[in-house]
Structure 1
């Protein structure tokens, strides 16, 4: 059994959470995690504390750790913060993009358009995440990147729900194309505006999804 505690076990549990292997509020039993990931008890405990700091796990006295449930209200607040940070990132990417990186963004945009045309919602969702990730890489703003990636991790279930909303992909596709075009044009002002408008539409979609669920319940 491995006794390493740090990034490896933390990353493994984080990846399992982001894949949806555990449901919200599910208890995370240390002994079970030790067996599943081949880690020491101290390593698992340290990993859970780190994931609690990231907002993915909730620690409760006498109950241990459980998967943190992110409410719609929290998801909206997270997205509002991301709107500001990702706008900054898009502006920086427009200032720094290289010809090779520009070609890659064009390719992702074309693949996204094809996925929408083919009705491949999961493929579109994966490409969406890839586009945002590459824009963060191009921007090279490590502090903003780290904060956004941590915030995005808290949103994974809500993003999955949004990806299945009828018409959502067709609505967001031109928004992403606008972001790509602004970055390729080297226009930081337009890139930031395009990204903020896109993230604003995500906020609106989350609120609409919450209202729809409240009516059903």
Structure 2
């Protein structure tokens, strides 16, 4: 969901007062843009030379990324980008979809009329994206993030939303590493529209089912790409 501003380049990293946060963001940006791929080794020495940051903040950042499921650190071996099994990703999306379904149901129960209109406006912007334009995936990713952020606001359940935000970032990572965002652009507005319709009608069960189906379809594309060995880009 929400992403902190990326900080790239050694000069900016060195001028940042919080080196640990900066190097964390720097590595995460590489993961989220496909510069690091599933199973690829991440060299601490290389990162240190690239950024001008010492080993300790880099290892701290990698440890935090491991806790969130992005990398795997093995003693005496090093750090690699986490390479999940298809079963692990499938399990993740079952939990992810269930949580997003609950959030959509809560939004149907608790949202204000003006918030419904805003959700429709965001989805209309997604529909207007030119699939042949430059930077189409980034445009979609930002608007999709805005859509789900607003949906979470409408649910008025900050604790659940905070937990789901971490899931969204991991989902984006899986999408980048597999099918890419463009694979789902054509379906997104229709699926979002089903969620909106259920919320506008005040039907929590229908909203929950629509949101769950939306995540299930994303999961299907990710898993099919992983099974076939395709990669996003």
TM-score normalised per structure 1: 0.80
Where structure 2 has 5 or more consecutive residues not aligned to the other structure, the ranges are: 1-13
CA RMSD of aligned residues (A): 2.7
**Alignment partner, residue 163 of structure 1:** 181
Which moved further from structure 2: 72-81 or 125-134? 125-134
TM-superposed CA distance for 1:211, in Å, is: 5.1
TM-score normalised per structure 2: 0.75
**Alignment partner, residue 97 of structure 1:** 111
**Alignment partner, residue 65 of structure 1:** 79
TM-superposed CA distance for 1:129, in Å, is: 3.1
Q: Which residue among 197, 203, 222 is the counterpart of 1:187?
A: 203
Alpha-carbon distance change, 146 to 65 in structure 1, aligned in 2, over 3 angstroms = farther
Q: Is 1:51 aligned with 2:89?
A: no
Aligned residue pairs, count: 210
Deviations 1:43-72 (A, max 9, x none): 111111111011101101212111112333
Q: Which residue among 159, 183, 201 is the counterpart of 1:143?
A: 159
- Distance in 1 of aligned mates of 2:62 and 2:203: 42
**Alignment partner, residue 29 of structure 2:** 15
Where structure 1 has 5 or more consecutive residues not aligned to the other structure, the ranges are: none
Q: Is 1:87 aligned with 2:101?
A: yes
TM-superposed CA distance for 1:80, in Å, is: 0.8
Alpha-carbon distance change, 128 to 4 in structure 1, aligned in 2, over 3 angstroms = closer
Is contact 2:89-2:223 (8 Å) kept?
no
Is contact 2:31-2:173 (8 Å) kept?
no
